[in-house]
Amino acid sequence: MSGVAFADIEAAAARLAGHAVETPLLESPALNERLGLRVLVKAETLQRVGAFKFRGAYNRLSQIAPADRRRGVVAFSSGNHAQGVALAARLLNMPAVIVMPADAPSVKVEATRGYGAEVVFFDRLTESREAIAARLAAERGAVIVPAFDDPDIIAGQGTAGLEMVRQARALGAEMDLVIGPIGGGGLMAGVALAIQTLSPRTLAVGVEPELYDDARRSLASGRRETLAPTVRTLCDSLESPSTGELTFPVLRDRLSAIATVSDPEVAEAMRCAFSTLKLVVEPGGSVGLAALLAGKVGQAAPGACVGLVLSGGNVDPVLFTRVLAGEF
């Protein structure tokens, strides 16, 4: 397994108290009517840095020994983990350098720099971000903070699941199903572990872009599959070529299914989130909603109570304008 236990998620929640936002669990009668479900939306778009990634980043960085903090941290990310690490480092008075793809959305690059981090660019199709991060960490004596394949990262992301169960019960609801995005798998590994510990009957379904369906292939084969990143998708935050060594066993054991969605389906979900929920959601954060709207989640029986994670809202303004205009 991942080396992550439910107690680790509870401990992460204690560390995050007063630092992370307890994001709301929202319900829209209009969305419920459209889908024939009761959908409880976990709006991680309203988390610090605009994405769930702050949870895992702060949980990891806060456990670095004070004597080691002056050497800082190195992370690699297309944007949301970058911002989470940058802000956590600033709050803990640590230097941070982030390895980002040269084509990362400018809104994410600017925000990462705005939190005080140094940004080093790489070509995602020809260079290894892991190799660059390893070199920088060796040169600086810094700690590498992975985006998802780390027990403390997984535990931090799992705190969203803890909140969902408590918030749903406060609404008089028990979730039949929880849906969320999969890139490297840290979010759904942590959320599924947290929710199913508290509510064993709740099923978990992951969603990923159809052009980056490594998790779906991995669950089908029973082993980690890796894709060669030769194409792009709207969902820049989910363009991981494989799940993690730590996250895959959790996903394999806890997910009932993995759905895949196309770019046009993601764009429709972004429009729906904006018009119906009044939320700005980035492409990668919209895939769960996209799967529901496209009827790709067979586990969501009519009338079921579905927990839906909208994982981030850091979308490039120009891209968002084009999506709203129906260009995708």
DSSP assigned state of 172: T
Quote the CA–CA distance of 305 and 117 in Å, as a whole number: 41
Distances (CA, A) of 74 to 46, 138, 180: 25, 10, 27
From 28, 42, 53, 77, active-site residue: 53
Longest dimension (CA), the chain: 56
From 2, 78, 218, 311, active-site residue: 311
Q: Which residues of 93-130 are buried (b: 16+ CB within 10 A; e: fewer)?
A: ebbbbbbbbeebbebbbebbbebebebbebebeeeebe
Q: Supply φ then ψ for residue 99, to 5 degrees.
A: -90, 115
Quote the CA–CA distance of 308 and 295 in Å, as a whole number: 14
311 included as an active-site residue: yes
From the list 154, 153, 178, 152, the residue with the least C-alpha distance to 164 is: 178
Q: Where are the beta strands (DSSP E) in 247-293?
A: 257-261
Q: What Rg value do the Cα atoms of the chain yield, rounded?
A: 18
- Strand, coil or helix: what is 20? coil
Q: Which residues of 28-51 are buried (b: 16+ CB within 10 A; e: fewer)?
A: beebbeebebbbbbbbbbbbbbbb
Residues tagged active-site: 53, 311
